[in-house]
Amino acid sequence: MLKTLWVYIKKHPFAYGLATVFAIISSGLTLVPNLIIQQLVDAIVASSLSKESLWQYLGIFLVSILCIYIVDVIWVVTLFSQSFRFQSELRRKSYQKLLSLRTPFYERFRSGDLMTRMTSDVDYLGDAIGYGFMLIVSNITWAVSILIAMIVTTSWKAALVSVLPLILFGYIVFLLWRKVDVLYEDNRDNVAKLSNEVLEMVDGVRVMRAYGKKELEQERFQKRTSEVLQKANNLVVYNGAIGQVAKFLIGLSTAVGLAFSGYLINQGQMTIGQLITFQIYLGMLSGAVWGLSDIVLVYQQGTVSFRKIDELLTADDSLEKVGQDEINKIDQIEFKDYVFQYPTGETTTLKKIDFELNRGETLGIVGKTGSGKTTLVRQLLRQYPISETGAIRINGRLIQDYSIRDLEGLIGYVPQEHILFSKTVGHNIRFGNRQADDTAVNAAIDSADFTKDVARMSEGLETLIGEKGVSISGGQKQRVSIARALIREPELLILDDSLSAVDAKTESAIIENIRQVRQDKTNVIVTHRLSAVAQADKVLVIEDGQIIEAGTPQELLDSKGWYYEQYMTQQMEVEENETI
């Protein structure tokens, strides 16, 4: 952590140099009022104080106080401005890292933990380079200045005696330091787990109500909260112990210093003015030591937070090295004897996948739940490492040779779980193409058969849909997602079971619209309903990760295999529904 903070400090030498210089100046100026007090008291005791010298003392005193204020404002504002800039840069860097990572990373890290890293951990690191730097610079320079002043202007003997308990304090803090580190990390991890619990409960609140599990979930949440409270209390005990040790030893330092100063006065080695000034110095030194004790907490929080953020910034999603070849169109897709197994899986998910898809064609992929349909299309999205067994080629070249950024720009993907933002309908659709004009937006809405729904909404395209689209139906979510994919006019459109929540009539209209507007583009439709692929150029039937049937819809019907049986079953269901 210290190395990282030091690198940042060296990148901004003027700001931190200015803060350090002004902190030293402030420490020096802080001694001036005490010297004035010492001389004023000695003059009063000696009955040598005149009206002119009194006004002179007061003038110097007020000017020094004003200068201290101005200098402190300058260096503190400079320092904390850099602290907030550091937090901003770190959040931006972490966010960019999150955007670059693929699915394997998000299978290891939960949302609540990532939120804690992006918020609290970044704040604590900012405190380390801001408040922590201030504590070190100001309190160290302050303590050194005070000790020098005590030795030079009062008594070096009294100063030495007073410092001895503070040395003992430093040793005790060192012993407690390591324990605080363990406790703080434990507390921080429990807070992250609690954040995960909250996110899950918010997402599943309707399910909990439907199943009457509110009381059970509330009890579980209360238990988790109690655990977090207990961990926090353990941390508070040690932090409080450090504070009480500091308070006791600072009091002891003050008592010993004053007692010894009284002895020195009795021996004629100190004046009354020196005694009063020495007492003020002791109070100031105690404040400096108290401030240094805060460094323990700031450092430990910063160290733990640094480990968490560094783990994020150095995380790997296990993908192979990104290719550099450019690609601006997709003319052909080929899977050649392709075999795939998830990085954390123990069984092969795709086995000997072999097919070709040319520009302008529509490919249907059907099969049982869990047969590997979604896994197959995820290979085109580069969400997982490409297997070394077999090959995936686009335009005759291996898919891993291409730039992922270029490839992503050519694909429009509508997943099973529709991710919508808590913005307006129009914002969610335009997310697919920020430069799209109203004509393009309306065209995408028409193709997704969403025009009538928009017309019925209270604010039209400006209607807020709530977090994750909570205020619209499942079918409307799917059509917003489809419109978002269509508006970017992708070379390859992938619909991954994206029509499951719409009725057969709407599904037919959407499929027909896609056929009309994408005649020269490539489409992949993953579905359970065979009606969605009735007009496809090719259909693959996947079972246990293998292609068991392939051909046109009519060819598959003629072969009377799984596709034929499923088709007949679904036709009977349709007829029964129409009869009802």
Residue 212 domain flag: yes
Same domain, 436 and 300: no
Structural domain that includes position 339: 323-410+492-580
Answer for the pair 120, 304: CB distance below 8 angstroms, yes or no: no
Same domain, 70 and 204: yes
Residue 252 confidence (pLDDT): 80
- Asked whether the predicted pLDDT for residue 457 surpasses 80, the reply is yes
Least confident of 229-238, 269-278, 511-520: 229-238
- Asked whether the predicted pLDDT for residue 302 surpasses 90, the reply is no
Q: Which residues pair with 493 in a beta bridge?
A: 412, 523
Residue 211 confidence (pLDDT): 62
Distance of CA 167 to the CA centre of its chain: 40
Strands 332-340 and 391-394 come out as antiparallel
Closest to 428 (Cα-Cα) out of 458, 455, 468, 457? 468
Query: pLDDT higher for 227 or 22?
Result: 22
Query: Residues, the chain, total?
Result: 580
Q: How would you class 481 by CB atoms within 10 Å of its CB: exposed for 0-12, middle for 13-18, buried for 19 or more?
A: buried
Euclidean distance between CA atoms 287 and 294, whole angstroms? 11
The H-assigned helical ranges of 353-450 are 373-380, 404-408, 425-430, 438-447
Same domain, 162 and 269: yes
Percentage above 70 pLDDT, the chain: 89
Same domain, 331 and 190: no
- Please state the rounded mean pLDDT for residues 331-344: 90
What CATH number is attached to the domain comprising 346? 3.40.50.300
Residue 130 confidence (pLDDT): 81
Q: What's the whole-model pTM score?
A: 0.70
Least confident of 9-18, 326-335, 474-483: 9-18
Residue 180 confidence (pLDDT): 67
Same domain, 497 and 559: yes
Q: What is the pLDDT of residues 92-112, one digit of tens each?
A: 988 888 887 777 777 777 777
- Asked whether the predicted pLDDT for residue 339 surpasses 90, the reply is yes
Same domain, 328 and 291: no
Residue 319 confidence (pLDDT): 66
Strands 546-551 and 411-414 come out as unpaired
pLDDT range class, residue 562, cuts 50, 70, 90: very high
What CATH number is attached to the domain comprising 309? 1.20.1560.10
Q: Which residues pair with 363 in a beta bridge?
A: 524, 538
- Please state the rounded mean pLDDT for residues 355-383: 91
Answer for the pair 476, 450: CB distance below 8 angstroms, yes or no: yes
SS3 439: helix
Residue 458 domain flag: yes
Domain count, the chain: 3
Same domain, 422 and 375: no
Same domain, 391 and 333: yes
Residue 366 confidence (pLDDT): 93
Last residue of a domain, one of 455, 470, 489: 489
DSSP letter string, 449-512: T-HHHHHHSTTGGG-B--GGGTTS-HHHHHHHHHHHHHTT--SEEEEESTTTTS-HHHHHHHHH
Same domain, 198 and 298: yes
Last residue of a domain, one of 281, 313, 345: 313
Contacts of 128 (CB under 8 A, 6+ apart): 1, 5, 298, 299, 301, 302, 305, 306
Last residue of a domain, one of 429, 461, 489: 489
Sheet-wide strand order for 391-394:
350-358, 332-340, 391-394, 397-398
Same domain, 149 and 111: yes
Same domain, 248 and 336: no
- Asked whether the predicted pLDDT for residue 580 surpasses 60, the reply is no
Same domain, 57 and 130: yes
Residue 318 domain flag: no
